């Protein structure tokens, strides 16, 4: 059993990493597709990622300890099996089952040949269930069979090539029976999927609910925060890709990010009819209470409200980074100033976090402070 648990554990570790990296793209996709964060859609998407990783690692792991796998094998080693349905012969050959006595069938569960065939059948069975959820109609069974075969073929080619040349000899064989069993498992999963999927909301119902939500002007608060976050990440990424290669000066970085901040949060919405890059991606725009374009004064107040916490934090950090000798007459004052600054920053960010959590719990019925002070309302396009 440990030979199966090890790949599953590795897949879980990789899944945590991939899940973290994909959270922002998924939030953007979910809001554009469904108009909200759908818990069920998120479960399906992330479980599919984990399943695909687990299936791949079950096929490839454990890896050999050396790239010179040829040295671990005899020269006449055969790396492929092209005779179909050999697994049936292997099961019968190694079986102690008396076919006229059903009570002896239980002994199959202890036989390696049977368990190997069962594993290959089950491996892509969930893949068929996912395909049924995505395609949502039984007439697509040919696609399910084709996709199952293609995925299985990818696994077999990966094995026969020693993971595309990483190893100088294959460490697992290319087996045509694996293609048959994997593909059949995917098709079986596709056919029995309705029994499982009846317990959960369909993809069609999620999309229909998203269409209804688009009829409302209310923008979910998480979507508003995500739009701000996207614009801010663009500023940081721009510095890393451009300024970070030229200089490491903190002052230059501060000036660069400040200028770009005002461009993205003030200039862009002022000339783009109340839209920033983030709001455009999330499909909403900034409006005043009567639905018209916000004034430049309103956009300026919103930008200031967003800019102040970040600037105050950066500015006060300059004082906390000052290092004085312990014998200096100003050392005691610096300690108290640093403590005061840290206390102020903790209180300020705690208030902001509580404010954000409160708005999230209110589900957008109350505006964020930066929209409230500017008399701006986020409207769906």
For the entire predicted model, the pTM comes to 0.72
Compute the Cα dihedral for 322, 328, 332, 333 and give only its sign.
negative
Backbone angles phi, psi at 168, to 5 degrees: -75, -10
Number of H helices, E strands in the chain: 16, 4
Alpha helix stretches (DSSP H) within 175-291 = 176-197, 203-213, 221-241, 250-262, 268-271, 277-281
Contact 22, 49 (CB under 8 A): yes
Instruction: Going residue by residue through the chain, which has 381 residues, state the pLDDT in tens, using 9 for 90 and above.
Output: 566 778 888 888 888 888 888 888 888 888 777 766 777 778 888 899 999 999 999 888 888 888 888 888 888 888 888 888 888 887 777 766 666 666 666 666 677 778 888 899 999 999 999 998 888 777 788 888 999 999 999 999 999 998 998 988 888 889 899 999 999 999 999 998 888 877 666 666 666 655 555 555 678 888 888 899 999 989 888 888 876 666 666 677 788 888 999 999 999 999 998 899 998 888 888 988 777 888 899 999 999 999 988 888 877 776 666 665 566 565 566 667 777 778 888 888 888 888 888 888 877 677 888 888 888 888 877
The DSSP result for 355-368, as a single string, is HHHHHHHTTTSS--
């Amino acid at each position: 059993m440990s030979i199966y648990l090890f790949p599953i554990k590795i897949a879980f570790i990789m899944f945590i990493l991939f899940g973290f990296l994909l959270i922002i793209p998924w939030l953007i996709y979910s809001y554009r597709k469904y108009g909200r964060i759908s818990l069920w859609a998120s479960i399906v998407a992330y479980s599919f990622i984990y399943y695909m990783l687990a299936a791949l690692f079950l096929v490839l792991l454990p890896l050999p300890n050396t790239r010179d796998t040829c040295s671990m094998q005899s020269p006449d080693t055969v790396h492929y099996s092209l005779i179909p349905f050999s697994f049936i012969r292997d099961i019968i050959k190694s079986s102690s089952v008396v076919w006229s006595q059903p009570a002896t069938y239980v002994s199959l569960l202890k036989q390696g040949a049977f368990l190997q065939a069962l594993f290959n059948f089950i491996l892509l069975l969930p893949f068929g269930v996912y395909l049924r959820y995505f395609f949502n109609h039984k007439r697509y069974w040919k696609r399910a069979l084709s996709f199952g075969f293609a995925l299985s073929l990818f696994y077999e080619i990966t094995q026969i090539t020693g993971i595309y040349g990483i190893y100088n000899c294959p460490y697992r064989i290319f087996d045509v029976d694996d293609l048959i069993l994997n593909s059949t498992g995917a098709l079986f999963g596709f056919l029995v999927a309705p029994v499982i999927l009846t317990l959960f909301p369909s993809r069609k119902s999620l999309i229909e609910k998203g269409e209804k939500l688009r009829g409302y002007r209310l923008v979910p608060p998480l979507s508003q925060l995500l739009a701000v976050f996207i614009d801010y990440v663009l500023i940081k990424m721009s510095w890393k890709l451009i300024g970070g290669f030229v200089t490491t000066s903190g002052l230059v970085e501060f000036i660069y990010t400040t200028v770009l901040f005002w461009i993205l949060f003030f200039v862009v919405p002022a000339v783009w009819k109340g839209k920033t890059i983030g709001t455009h991606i999330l499909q909403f725009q900034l409006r005043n209470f009567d639905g018209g374009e916000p004034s430049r004064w309103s956009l300026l107040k919103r930008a200031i409200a967003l800019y102040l916490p970040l600037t105050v934090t950066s500015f006060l950090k300059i004082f906390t980074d000052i290092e004085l000798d312990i014998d200096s007459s100003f050392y005691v004052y610096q300690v108290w100033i640093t403590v005061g600054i840290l206390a102020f920053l903790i209180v300020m960010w705690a208030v902001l976090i509580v404010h954000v959590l409160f708005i999230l719990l209110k589900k957008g019925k109350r505006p964020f402070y930066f929209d409230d002070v500017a008399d701006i309302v986020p409207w769906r396009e």
